[in-house]
Amino acid sequence: MLEKKYLDQKKKYIVGVSGGCDSMALLDMLVKAHYHVVVAHVNYHKREDSDVDMHLVEQYAKQHRLIFECQEVTTYNKKNFQAQARDIRYQFYLDLLKKYQGYAVLLGHHHDDVLETIYMQKQTKRHHIYFGIKAKTLYQDAWVIRPLLQCRKTMLIDYCKKNGVPYHDDYTNFETYYYRDYVRNKIFNHMSEEEKDQLYQWALKKNQLYQLRQKEVEKLYAYCFHDGKLCIKNVAQTDLYDLYCMYIDQHTNLLFHQVDGHVIEEMVKQTLSPKPNITLSLPVNHVFIKEYDNVYVTKKTQEEDYAYIFETFVEFDCAYFHLRKEGSLNEGIPIQEDDFPICIRNYRPKDEIKTAGGTKKVNRLFIDKKIPMHQRKHWPILLNRHGEILLIPNIAKNEAYLAINAQLFVIQ
């Protein structure tokens, strides 16, 4: 039953165990096969009998001399419970991987879960790059392995009964409040084995076509990917979706259950917008950024204003600029003593600078230079004691400070 090709006897694993037959069967198989495991249980206290699950898992761990870790949750925000529970659970697993220097998280998903997922994906009629559940995926640099995807639920129930493995059914799994439970209890309970197999075979063909398509996309990806960004200039609209899917898979810590089809479709929509600079919020504190012909995904950062005052020249370093006596021509000015104290700060909406071509709005200069929106917020601007802007490195200089004998350089 256990797909051992994904496992290694020399490595340590965090096993997510709810107390149901799926995860208890997985845990027992791992124990009998002598894998090094840490048992992880989350008690959400959403059912009056949730403590029964917790004590059952804890007792099994004690009986087999396994490390047992439990996280009890009592407060929730107003967001979708299932989504929040998943976030809590996965963060718990990540913390345990770090604590015990584990290799991967093992979960008890099985073939019935795969079929349910395929059905729900098909019903959404969205663009999906993969149908079903992968046996091995990456979550925030951590491997998540599901070694039971070839097992049917009935096989796991039989295993527990034959081997005397205790388990406790979550009665909410037999209700229909959540969509997956509805699919399980109202759709699949009335679906024949032949219909289920047809659904699975349909998904296999779709996934095979996806793999063939991936080879084409990989060539396009190699052509477009530079310095952590995708250059989408001249990329066909039909290629954008697959290109973004590959980018998310290879260069972010996001999973496709976090960035699902409709989010990627929105990324494509924003890419096709005539606006040159766009920021789109993504799940798990990430953002999609479009900067003219380049796009990328990054973690959100807290936007902060800054202002540094210098009474005299001193070499200085911070996250936004470096202050030096040497640099490139467009980064320096011939500073004078009566300019001090100087201030170096980030951009303000009404900023203007007197250039040889007249007074210019700084924001207009940013636009003309095609400076990405998020970079404008932190671009350093040097002002003298009177509040006049003297230098915007690599963009503009005050008309009175154009001499080539610069002594002060703001390196952006």
- Which CATH code of 3.40.630.30, 3.40.640.10, 3.40.50.620, 3.40.50.2300 fits the domain covering 4-191? 3.40.50.620
Q: Which residue has the higher pLDDT, 174 or 136?
A: 136
Q: Which residue has the higher pLDDT, 82 or 116?
A: 116
What is the average pLDDT across 60-71?
96
Residue the block writes with tokens 């090094």: 36
Check residue 45 and give its pLDDT: 86
Check residue 74 and give its pLDDT: 82
Give residue-wise pLDDT tens across range 105-125: 999 999 999 999 999 888 876
What is the average pLDDT across 268-286?
85
d(CA 239, CA 127): 12
| Residue 229 confidence (pLDDT) above 60 | yes
Check residue 321 and give its pLDDT: 92
CATH code for the structural domain at 215-299? 1.20.59
| Residue 99 confidence (pLDDT) above 90 | yes
What percentage of the chain reaches a pLDDT higher than 90?
Answer: 56
Local confidence band at 256 (pLDDT 50, 70, 90 cut-offs): low
| Residue 294 confidence (pLDDT) above 80 | yes
3-state secondary structure the chain: CCCHHHCCCCCEEEEECCCCHHHHHHHHHHHHCCCEEEEEEEECCCCCCHHHHHHHHHHHHHHCCCEEEEEECCCCCCCCHHHHHHHHHHHHHHHHHHHHCCCEEECCCCHHHHHHHHHHHHHHCCCCCCCCCCCEEEECCEEEECCCCCCCHHHHHHHHHHHCCCCCCCHHHHCCCCHHHHHHHHHHHHCCHHHHHHHHHHHHHHHHHHHHHHHHHHHHHHHHEECCEEECCCCCHHHHHHHHHHHHHHHCCCCCCCCCHHHHHHHHHHHCCCCCEEEEEECCCEEEEEECCEEEEEECCCCCCCEEEECCCCCEECCCCEEECCCCHHHEECCCHHHCCEEEECCCCCCEEEECCEEEEHHHHHHHCCCCHHHHCCCCEEECCCCCEEEECCCEECHHHCCCCCCEEEEC
| Residue 254 confidence (pLDDT) above 80 | no
User: What ranges do the domains of the chain cover?
Assistant: 4-191, 215-299, 307-411
> What is the average pLDDT score of the chain?
88
Check residue 15 and give its pLDDT: 97
Local confidence band at 173 (pLDDT 50, 70, 90 cut-offs): low
What percentage of the chain reaches a pLDDT higher than 70?
Answer: 94
Give residue-wise pLDDT tens across range 1-48: 899 999 999 999 999 999 999 999 999 999 999 999 999 999 988 888
